[in-house]
Amino acid sequence: MKKIIFSLLLLLSIAPLKMWAQKNIIDEVIWVIGDESILKSEVEEQKLRAQYDNTPIQGDPYCVIPEQIAIQKLFLHQAALDSVVVSESSVMNQVESRVNYFIAQIGTKEKMEEYFHKSTNDLREELRDMIRNQQIINQMQQKLVADIKSTPADVRRYFKELPTDSVPTVPAEVELQLISFEPPVPIEEINRIKEKLRDYTERVNSGATDFSVLARLYSEDTESAKRGGELGFMGRGQLVPEFSQVAFNLTDPKKVSRIVQTEFGFHIIQLIEKRGDRINCRHILLKPQVSLAEKEKGIHNLDSISNLIRQSKITFEQAVLAYSQDKNTAMNAGLMLNDKNNTSKFEYQDLPPEIAKVVYSMNVGEISKPFSMINKSTNKEVVAVVKLKSKIENHAANLTDDYQMLKTFFEARKKQEFLNTWIIKKQKETYISIDPAWQNCTFQYPGWIKK
C-alpha cells in the first residue's frame, strides 16, 4: 500500500517549478482509461517535476508515469461511483498551506506569480483540483481496505513465517516522565516588549513605515517575517483563540490592532483581506525573555524537588501534580506521549534534542539533573527534569516487545495485496487503449495491454 500511495503522491506533489507552468508542450492522447485520457504533456510535466525534486523514478519514466496516472484514474472513477467526497475546507487549508510555502521559498507573492507565470488565484485553482484528487484517492483506498484486520494468531503466523534476514530491527526506545515549568518573566521585560510594539503601531498608523518592513526587521516569528509578517488565509480554528478573536474583528487594513498576548508572546496584527470565513493578515511577534536570575532560580527549585524524590519523601508522580506546568503531561503522571506513533515510546531521534542528550546515558529509574530547553508547543524556554521510566535496547523485533509494530506491518502487507488485486480486477473491467508507441514497457501491472 505504501508503494502505491507514494507513487500517487509523487504524481500529485506540487513543486515550485517554472517549467510546470509553461504551455510549450504539444499535447497528444497517449492512453485512454474508460472515459478519461492521459496526455503526453501530463507525463512530461511529471517527469520534469521529478527531475526538479531530484526524486528518482524506478524504471523508464515514459512507462512508470503514465501507469501511475492510470492507477490514479481508476481510484478516482471508483470514488465517483461510491460518492466519496472530501471536505472543501480541508482542501482549501492545504491549498493555502502550499501557497504560503511557495511564498516563503520564493520571497513574495509577486515573485511567486512571476515564477509560475500565473496569478495567485489561478495557482490556487490548479492546486485545489490536485489536492482534492489526492484526498479523494486517499479516502477511496482507506475505504477499500477498511475491513482488513488481523488477529493475534495472524500476527504470530506472519512473524513465524518471516525469514531470519527479514525480521525488522527495532531502534532503541525509551519512555520518559517530565516535570517542567516556565520561569516567570519580569514585569519590566513585559513592559519593554509592549513599548516596542506601541512604537511600531504608531509608526504604521502615522504612515511613517510599512507594517511589512517592520515585520521583516523585528518579528520573532521567523517564517512569517520572511513574508513581511503575512500568515496567508486561515480559518478561526487555525489560529489560537486570543489571536483569532482580535484578527477577525479587524475591518481597516490601514490600521493596526491592539497588543495581543498569546502563549507565543505579544503580537500586533494588520488585516490584509477577508474572504468568507477566512482571513489573511500580517503580524509582528515579540517574545519576552526570561532573566538569567529567574532561570537559575527555577533550576535550583527543580534540583530541590528532584532530591526530595530521590530521598523517597515524595514520588515523581506527586511532584508532577504539585509543580509541573507542562500541559501535555501534567495530567498523565508526567508521561511524555509521542505524536509520531501515538504511544509513550520514543526513539532518541524523535525526542527534543535537549532531552535526548540528557537521557542517552541514564539508567532506568534515574532522574536527570535540571536543564533548560525550548518547549516546542509554545516555543518558550522552560526548565525541566526527566525520569527514565523504561528503556528497550536496539534489537531484532519479537512478539513480546513489538507486537503492535508487527501487527502494523502485517496489516500493511495485507492491504497492499488487496489493492494490487483490486487494480488487476479493475483493469479487466475498464476500457483501456494505449498508443502503440507507448506500449513497449514492462508495467508493474501487465493487464493494461488487452490481448
Q: Write the pLDDT tens digit of every residue in 250-304.
A: 999 989 999 999 988 999 999 999 988 889 999 999 999 888 888 999 999 999 9
Claim to verify: residue 259 and residue 367 sit in the same structural domain: no
pTM: 0.65
Cα–Cα nearest to 343, from 352, 333, 335: 335
Say if 363 falls within a structural domain: yes
Q: Note whether 383 and 109 are within 8 A (CB).
A: no
Claim to verify: residue 140 and residue 179 sit in the same structural domain: no
pLDDT at 13: 46
Strands 36-39 and 346-347: unpaired
Which of 237, 258, 286 corresponds to the end of one domain? 286
Q: What are the distances in angstroms from CA 405 to CA 58, 167, 310, 385?
A: 28, 12, 35, 30
CATH code for the domain of 211: 3.10.50.40
Which of 270, 286, 302 corresponds to the end of one domain? 286
Q: Domain containing 56: what range?
A: 2-149+412-448
| Count of H-run helices and E-run strands, the chain | 16, 13
Residue the block writes with cell 519590566? 188
Claim to verify: residue 80 and residue 117 sit in the same structural domain: yes
Claim to verify: residue 133 and residue 210 sit in the same structural domain: no
Phi, psi of 120, deg, nearest 5 = -60, -40
Claim to verify: residue 274 and residue 369 sit in the same structural domain: no
- Give the pLDDT confidence of 317-366 residue by residue, as tens digits: 999 999 998 888 888 899 999 988 888 999 999 999 999 999 999 999 99
Q: Note whether 114 and 155 are within 8 A (CB).
A: no
Distance CA 26, CA 28 (A): 7
Cα–Cα nearest to 7, from 87, 61, 48: 61
Say if 168 falls within a structural domain: no
Which of 286, 320, 353 corresponds to the end of one domain? 286
Claim to verify: residue 88 and residue 25 sit in the same structural domain: yes
Claim to verify: residue 237 and residue 299 sit in the same structural domain: no
Say if 67 falls within a structural domain: yes
Say if 403 falls within a structural domain: no
Containing 301, the helix (H) or strand (E) segment is helix 292-310
Phi, psi of 116, deg, nearest 5 = -90, -5
Say if 205 falls within a structural domain: yes
Burial degree of 72 (CB within 10 A; 0-12, 13-18, 19+): buried
Say if 156 falls within a structural domain: no
Q: In DSSP terms, which residues pair with 177 in a beta bridge?
A: 335, 387
Distance CA 324, CA 329 (A): 8
Residue the block writes with cell 488481523? 150
Q: Note whether 14 and 98 are within 8 A (CB).
A: yes
Claim to verify: residue 214 and residue 269 sit in the same structural domain: yes
Say if 427 falls within a structural domain: yes
Count up the domains in the chain and report the number: 3
SS3 for 22? Answer: coil
Claim to verify: residue 145 and residue 8 sit in the same structural domain: yes
pLDDT at 222: 87
Distance CA 251, CA 259 (A): 16
pLDDT along the chain (451 residues), means of 10: 46 42 65 92 81 78 94 94 89 84 79 84 87 94 95 95 91 93 90 96 93 94 89 87 94 93 93 89 93 90 94 94 88 90 89 92 94 82 93 91 90 95 95 93 91 71
Q: In DSSP terms, which residues pair with 283 in a beta bridge?
A: 269
360 Cα distance to chain centroid:
27
Say if 269 falls within a structural domain: yes
Query: In sequence order, which residues have a C-beta less than 8 Å from that of residue 109 and are 6 or more positions away?
Result: 103, 120, 230
Please compute, for residue 119, the number of CA atoms within 13 A of its CA located in the half-sphere on the CB side. Answer: 3
DSSP string, 383-448: EEEEEEEEEE-SEE--HHHHHHHHHHHHHHHHHHHHHHHHHHHHHHHS-EEE-GGG-----SSGGG
CATH code for the domain of 75: 1.10.4030
Claim to verify: residue 63 and residue 42 sit in the same structural domain: yes
Claim to verify: residue 82 and residue 204 sit in the same structural domain: no
276 Cα distance to chain centroid:
26
Claim to verify: residue 429 and residue 351 sit in the same structural domain: no
